[in-house]
Amino acid sequence: MEKKQILSIVANNLRTLINKQGLSVSELARRCDISTGTVSKIMAGQMALTIITAMRIADGLNVTIDQLMQGLNSSISSASQEDVEALDEFSVGILSLGNRRITCILDQTNTVIATSELTGGLDLAETSGKLMHSIQEAIATALGTLDKQTITLKQMRLKLVTQSYEFESTRQKFMHFAERYFKEVILLSDWQLTCLSIFNDKPGISLVVDKGVSLSYQYEGVIKKLGGWKFPVYDLGGENWLGAETIRHTVEAAEGYVPMSTLAQTVLSKFNGKIEAITETCFKAGMGADVFCTFTPFLLHAYFTQEPAAIKIIDSGVAAIQKMIARVDAITEQKLDIAMHGSLLDIYKNKIAPKRLMAYVPITHNVELLAQLTKEYLQQKGILIGM
């Protein structure tokens, strides 16, 4: 598609959206925090959209980037395919860590040129359009600190770590969607990146004990995994599972199947003594959602006060994790060092092979490593990319 055609399509889209909302050029410019002259030039087909400008206009109109760029084969590129291929390339790593998006942008020499950190993670359970908006927002925020606002998405090799990575069909759908925008897209899970960053090419076990539990291990140069298949299918020992076990115990105690405990009394008191209120809370949030994590603090408080019922639940989580470690020991025929991370670290670290535990290493630097990764390197590690 010729450059003039692209400019014309964008201009027509913008005029249509402005007219539909009854906005003036000056009002849109004010909403988007850009100059009136810039809006006028884009509407006249005299100026191409950069990433930052497109994001601001889409937000000002309360529309998606797709709506603004409707009719184009790619997103915020103002050049032909031949022109794009001749431009410099950039590597972008975006790490979804809890409720944060951490972004790192590298130039062709692998030098960090921009970073950003925003609230709100990336979860494949969201729609592809919403995910893309969050990705573009993270990139635009990083680039906003530079005098490099002409960089286009088609110059970027995007590397992502998202939540709900195990949703295979959703992952494939998003990959197909995102590849329309970027020069390349690589999608990883947090456990893959964590294992790579901790051990590099050395053998070892990475144990993540958080909302879920996953164990990955590197052995003979290849990374493999046990567990972490998303609660309620698996994740024995994680916050979601512990919360669900807390609910189970509370119901059994209320029904008289097991002795009433302080733990069960505490949970019931938060729901006016009604089991149906607990059930309703879980169903409203969606079964299997992180709502079960909200019950974990009751369990941990009871555990630290030496409540027998809480100790029994935690011990069952410990047993499940020990079983995973024993399985890897059997596969590798040796006892590899273990690196443990996650919100439940302080609960489990003194119970699971303490002599094998490595010193705690912060993993927030992973985003720079993420941006540096290549498909060739990951294929050597046996990691399936976006499959």
| Claim to verify: residue 226 and residue 339 sit in the same structural domain | yes
| Claim to verify: residue 326 and residue 223 sit in the same structural domain | yes
| Claim to verify: residue 172 and residue 247 sit in the same structural domain | no
- Residue-level pLDDT at 71: 67
| Claim to verify: residue 288 and residue 344 sit in the same structural domain | yes
Strand, coil or helix: 143:
helix
Q: From 3, 163, 147, 4, select the one nearest 79 (Cα to Cα).
A: 3
- What would the DSSP string read from start to end of 50-107? PHHHHHHHHHHHT--HHHHTTT-SSSS--S-HHHHHHS--EEEEEEEETTEEEEEEE-
Is residue 379 in some structural domain? no
Is residue 372 in some structural domain? no
Q: Is the pTM of this model over 0.85?
A: no
| Claim to verify: residue 46 and residue 143 sit in the same structural domain | no
Q: How many domains does the chain have?
A: 3
Is residue 301 in some structural domain? yes
| Claim to verify: residue 207 and residue 284 sit in the same structural domain | yes
Give the CATH number, domain containing residue 278.
3.30.420.40
pLDDT in single tens digits along all 387 residues of the chain: 556 777 788 888 888 888 888 888 889 888 888 888 888 888 888 887 776 677 778 878 888 777 777 765 443 433 444 444 445 789 999 999 878 899 999 998 999 999 999 999 998 888 887 888 889 889 988 888 665 556 778 889 999 999 888 788 888 889 988 888 899 999 998 888 888 888 888 999 999 898 888 899 999 888 888 877 777 767 899 999 999 999 999 999 999 999 999 999 999 999 999 999 998 888 776 655 578 999 999 999 999 999 999 999 999 999 999 999 999 999 999 999 999 988 999 999 988 888 899 987 766 557 999 999 999 989 888 885 544
- Residue-level pLDDT at 387: 43
CB 92 within 8 A of CB 157: yes
A 10 A CB-CB count for 167 gives 16
Q: Which tokens is 333 given?
A: 């025929």
| Claim to verify: residue 167 and residue 217 sit in the same structural domain | no
Is residue 107 in some structural domain? yes
- Residue-level pLDDT at 248: 95
Is residue 363 in some structural domain? no
- Residue-level pLDDT at 57: 86
Q: Which residues contact 371 (CB under 8 A, 6 or more apart)?
A: 91, 92, 93, 104, 105, 106, 159
Q: Are strands 204-209 and 112-119 parallel, antiparallel or unpaired?
A: unpaired
State residue 44 phi and psi, 5-degree precision: -90, 0
Give the CATH number, domain containing residue 9.
1.10.260.40
Burial of 354 (0-12, 13-18, 19+ CB in 10 A): exposed
Which residues constitute the domain of residue 284?
191-356
- Residue-level pLDDT at 265: 96
Is residue 230 in some structural domain? yes
| Claim to verify: residue 301 and residue 350 sit in the same structural domain | yes
| Claim to verify: residue 75 and residue 92 sit in the same structural domain | no
| Claim to verify: residue 36 and residue 114 sit in the same structural domain | no
Give the domain-ending residue among 188, 211, 245: 188
In the sheet with 222-227, reading across from the earlier edge strand, the strands are 222-227, 213-219, 204-209, 338-341
Is residue 322 in some structural domain? yes
| Claim to verify: residue 209 and residue 341 sit in the same structural domain | yes
Max intra-chain CA distance, the chain: 76
- Residue-level pLDDT at 383: 81
- What would the DSSP string read from start to end of 280-345? HHHHHH-TTSGGGGGGHHHHHHHHHTT-HHHHHHHHHHHHHHHHHHHHHHHHHTS---EEEESTTH
Distance CA 138, CA 1 (A): 28
Distance CA 199, CA 195 (A): 6
24: left (phi over 0), alpha (psi -120 to 50) or beta: beta
Residue type (1 letter), 193: L
Is residue 261 in some structural domain? yes
Q: What would you report as the CA-atom Rg of the chain, rounded to the nearest whole angstrom? A: 25
Give the domain-ending residue among 188, 222, 237: 188
Give the domain-ending residue among 121, 156, 188: 188
| Claim to verify: residue 97 and residue 199 sit in the same structural domain | no
Distance CA 315, CA 302 (A): 13
